[in-house]
Amino acid sequence: MEQIKILIADDHAVVREGTRQILEQEPDLVVVAEASDGEEAVNLAGSAKPNVAIIDIAMPKVDGIEATRKIKALYPGIAVMILTAYDDEQFIFSLLEAGAAGYLLKSVRGRELIDAVRRIYAGESVLHPAIARKVLNRFVPGSGKPAKPERAEVLSKRETDVLKLAARGLSNQEIANELFLSLRTVQAHLGHIFNKLQVGSRTEAVVRAMKEGWVTLDDIA
């Protein structure tokens, strides 16, 4: 079985220990390193070579935002997931811009965390529902304001359908089931979307679509 290697970065030892215990109940998840501050997280990202880095925001020396930015700059293949108690908009958008592919609150259940790690590793994005709502509210265009450029000039209708379902948080397989497509076809559509929008993740693609007005609150409801 292919194992997903994980780095946990949190300044509270009890949080790191609890997170490790939850994750390592699964045979395909293994914690390869723990960091107590952001600087250590960046260093361990290079030496431990994790697939997924689970990072808190408030940490000594280097905070989670800067740690995320540095990890993505130095090791773009590592997927970063934020696990924190903070849902302030200033943190959310700074972290998404820094390259985080997921943002979960520490109130999530263990099973949700496990599923999120697997989805992040598979190249999907994961946003806690409360975070997704804040992103939507931030990027939905104002009333009467036209979205430019027009969606049809950039994405095909099928690509837009895939992106709308991705914005609802569906996995690639769930999107395939919803649209009666194969998993490989959905992955191909997402690859085309990333190329056309010049983004590197589902999160970035969804945020761009929200900014342009191609994805609306009605689409997510």
For the chain, what percent of residues have pLDDT higher than 90?
Answer: 38
Q: What residue ranges define each of the domains in the chain, with the CATH number in brackets?
A: 4-136 (3.40.50.2300), 141-220 (1.10.10.10)
According to the model, what pLDDT value does residue 37 have?
92
Instruction: Name beta bridge partners: 104.
Output: 83
Give pTM, 2 decimals.
Answer: 0.71
At residue 21, the pLDDT reads: 94
pLDDT at 136: 64
β-pair partners for 105: 84
Q: Are 50 and 6 in contact (CB under 8 A)?
A: yes
Question: 158 — phi, psi (to 5°)?
Answer: -65, -40
Question: Which is higher by pLDDT, 195 or 202?
Answer: 195
Q: Which residue has the higher pLDDT, 67 or 141?
A: 67
Higher per-residue pLDDT: 142 or 47: 47
Confidence at residue 203, expressed as pLDDT on a 0 to 100 scale: 75
Reported for 195-202, long-range contacts at CB under 8 A and 24+ positions apart, including other chains, are 196/154, 196/155, 196/159, 197/154, 197/155, 200/76, 200/99, 201/99, 201/101, 201/123, 201/125, 202/101, 202/123, 202/124, 202/125, 202/166
Average pLDDT over residues 116-131: 81
Check whether 53 has a pLDDT greater than 90: yes
pLDDT mean across residues, the chain = 84
Query: What pLDDT does 220 receive?
Result: 65
Question: For position 147, what pLDDT does the model report?
Answer: 47
**By the 8 A CB rule, do 82 and 125 touch?**
no
3-state secondary structure of 55: strand
Q: Which of 80, 33, 30 has the alpha carbon at shortest distance from 55?
A: 80
Q: Which two tokens stand for residue 221?
A: 């409801």
